[in-house]
Structure 1
């Protein structure tokens, strides 16, 4: 058995049904621990986030504002998977997959909230002002020295996975889109991506944060420009699309799909897997990646940053939902059921007033933001393992992969890195279960008006 066969076995495990169940159960546990903050505290969350964007907490540690930290996280989360991946979820699981995606998001909100809270609570701030935080840090300092190996595993998985989900996959999607829609040679795309990513990563978290707070609104504006005309074009089919989403979520469904028009029967298991899987890996709740960004926030209480985690999830949920509804309302899902998700997305955007070119632009902007934030995530994982001296070698290696991504030819490495991306969840979910009581205590203290007491150094 070679390494790719081993990787395939691991891939089926970390992205399989049992792992999805673990994600949901951890989310439910954290929902209980936080008093279902994603429902009962959403008004408070919006006041503490959207209502306080201009506030600065410059005397409360961290290196960037709470808003910037959330934008770095959102920049990583909202990538090409929110477009192509969402179309793929419907292609695989039919319209009913959307309901289960919503379930994964609603439960995952508590997970993302807890990750942000723990990231701030256990972060390490050094004399030069720099901050190191994220799951590797709250595992190490929350669970103690004996679990340092688990923290090291998370850091290793993150450092390597960033080359897949956050680099080669994104760069490859951009290269293919620009080559197909604008005849841009892959080498030119790779060079431009490498230069942009290198410049942004070279400035550290402050430059990345300034970029993220600009690029995320641009991403969202471009997305609305792309999807609203599609929704308006099929506005008469939207009520039927919504009805179909709910009616097909709990039942077996026979539909006409594929280029040959074959009848495909979707069982509940396929619908669940497609929807829950898309929800989990679109919002990244449970993977722990966003916690690395939230740890950098200048905030006076960890729970305040947890509210940014909730708001981040709402934005991501809106993007995936609108994308799915536009695809279902178009009727193309029936034609492509069980078929090619990329071609399905291309035909969907062929109906756009600006044509398929809109898809190419959208994928390029979405991918760039994701690459920069994931470059930072991977760098932080590497720095945890090897110290600050690894930062520039890691950045240069990441930039080299950004150049190679559009050229293709690294499918094996991408496959292994994507498996490690799923494996990031294992140490992180263990820590979330073990530290759920800490999150619950911090939430209770926050709403009782008690000041935050950072944990003592061990």
Structure 2
């Protein structure tokens, strides 16, 4: 039985235009229910998050600070897809794909906001201080016992998908980067990854959060160190890059391939798919994964944590946009249009003062953060399904996959896990539609100064 052949139709459906339309429509619906909070309350959100990191000390519920919760979510979201994946989107859809990526981000901000709000509102706090939250919890307690099967599906998809998107894919990227640029054998890389991830997951959410609080600023610093010199090198082409983004967003002829001199025609559907797809799956808004982290925040009102969801999206948008602008301004997008994204980004960083090793260093750091956070996500999904006793078996299995990842292989498992990652969105989007009115009410109550009333325990 060819697992890849069986998986392909489902993968195409999950990541196809129809599903993308659903993401956008849900985001628009939540934008309406919240009064377009991503625009109307953006200033408040920034003051409540980045402007209050040192000032606000909340200890209401949760196990980690609101900032740490956002860092865990960002650590998972800002991964290798923000680098290689962004280049791939431009190669598939041309510069015009970037405009549609922006549109998807702006709509998705309301989705990520709603996920964080619901995660805190419905989370379960236990007597030992631990917290369980995320889509599986707000589906179960927000939609009622009759929808418990839907919550279980989300938890199952999350626990399984974590082995692919959050482990094998990331570990493979680390192994390839270290082997090609530094000659480090994959087995050594796997051993080091397994040791690091094992230590972090063994310490629970507190250790994962502390690591995220360190690794996210490091990711951003490395990203700026890697991209800004390239952007300065091509600064003269930046106005033309912006012009291309807007002029080709609705174009049916994106470019002519400079390498072969052959015209490469891109239909509007291809441009939309590349841009909207990157805008949706780069930030994970709608997948529900980040809500698992936001549920752990020590915060006195769900809307206050929702603001961190908005800020998280802005950081993700900044990284993808800067990566796209740098690549388009370099002119390499035309040469490699429709070609290999890894080769294209390697050519881009060949111009960097530190060379391709700079790219390798970025990929390693970006992947490490993603692995730690997704290990926690998967563990939470497994614990929801099978109880607290499954945590250590799940952790040990995750660590074993971290060791195997750099060695290669397991393509079928990776492909299936990628599909399961997309399937996570279905239960989550259903819940967001059903609970959108509640999110809107919580927003209204917050700005009226009314105290938050957690739902009654069943």
TM bin (shorter chain): over 0.9
1:148 aligns with 2:142: no
Q: Is the 8 A contact 1:71 1:209 kept in 2?
A: yes
**What is the match of residue 93 of structure 2?**
93
How far apart, in 2, do the equivalents of 1:253 and 1:224 lie?
A: 32
Q: Which secondary structure does the structure 1 equivalent of 2:63 belong to?
A: coil
1:48-447 matches, cutoff 5 A: 48-257=48-257, 260-447=260-447
Q: CA offset at residue 251 of structure 1?
A: 1.4
How far apart, in 2, do the equivalents of 1:230 and 1:242 lie?
A: 16
**What is the match of residue 22 of structure 2?**
22
How far apart, in 2, do the equivalents of 1:390 and 1:296 lie?
A: 19
Q: CA offset at residue 184 of structure 1?
A: 1.1
Q: Is the 8 A contact 1:56 1:298 kept in 2?
A: no
Q: Is the 8 A contact 1:186 1:406 kept in 2?
A: yes
Return 50-59 or 273-282, whichever deviates more: 50-59
What CA RMSD, in Å, does the superposition of the two structures yield over aligned residues?
A: 1.0
Q: Is the 8 A contact 1:109 1:313 kept in 2?
A: yes
How far apart, in 2, do the equivalents of 1:324 and 1:210 lie?
A: 30
Question: Alpha carbons of 1:437 and 1:179: their partners in 2 closer, same or farther (altered >3 Å)?
Answer: same
Q: Is the 8 A contact 2:58 2:300 kept in 1?
A: no
Q: Is the 8 A contact 1:156 1:382 kept in 2?
A: yes
Provide Cα deviations, 1:6-44, integer angstroms capped at 9, x if missing partner. 211110000000000000000000000000000010000
**What is the match of residue 450 of structure 2?**
450
How far apart, in 2, do the equivalents of 1:321 and 1:189 lie?
A: 31
Matched residues, number: 458
Q: CA offset at residue 118 of structure 1?
A: 0.1
Q: CA offset at residue 263 of structure 1?
A: 1.6
Q: Is the 8 A contact 1:57 1:300 kept in 2?
A: no
Question: Alpha carbons of 1:221 and 1:254: their partners in 2 closer, same or farther (altered >3 Å)?
Answer: closer
Q: CA offset at residue 111 of structure 1?
A: 0.0
Q: Which secondary structure does the structure 1 equivalent of 2:282 belong to?
A: helix
How far apart, in 2, do the equivalents of 1:48 and 1:58 lie?
A: 12
Q: Is the 8 A contact 2:78 2:370 kept in 1?
A: yes
How far apart, in 2, do the equivalents of 1:238 and 1:363 lie?
A: 25
How far apart, in 1, do the equivalents of 2:4 and 2:245 lie?
A: 37
Provide Cα deviations, 1:406-444, integer angstroms capped at 9, x if missing partner. 101110000000000000000000000000011000000
Q: Is the 8 A contact 2:115 2:306 kept in 1?
A: yes
Structure 1: which 5+ runs fail to align?
none
Q: Which secondary structure does the structure 2 equivalent of 1:347 belong to?
A: helix
Provide Cα deviations, 1:348-407, integer angstroms capped at 9, x if missing partner. 000000000000000000000000000000000000000010000000000000010010
Q: Is the 8 A contact 1:201 1:376 kept in 2?
A: yes
Provide Cα deviations, 1:160-184, integer angstroms capped at 9, x if missing partner. 0000100000111111111111111
How far apart, in 1, do the equivalents of 2:47 and 2:372 lie?
A: 29
How far apart, in 2, do the equivalents of 1:55 and 1:10 lie?
A: 48
How far apart, in 2, do the equivalents of 1:451 and 1:377 lie?
A: 30
How far apart, in 1, do the equivalents of 2:314 and 2:237 lie?
A: 25
Q: CA offset at residue 5 of structure 1?
A: 2.4
Q: Which secondary structure does the structure 1 equivalent of 2:216 belong to?
A: helix
Provide Cα deviations, 1:295-326, integer angstroms capped at 9, x if missing partner. 00000000000000000000000000000000
How far apart, in 2, do the equivalents of 1:434 and 1:57 lie?
A: 33
1:39-54 matches, cutoff 5 A: 39-54=39-54
TM (norm. structure 2) is 0.99
How far apart, in 1, do the equivalents of 2:400 and 2:339 lie?
A: 33
Q: Stretches of 4+ moved more than 2 A in 1? A: 1-6, 55-59, 256-262
Q: Is the 8 A contact 2:248 2:254 kept in 1?
A: no
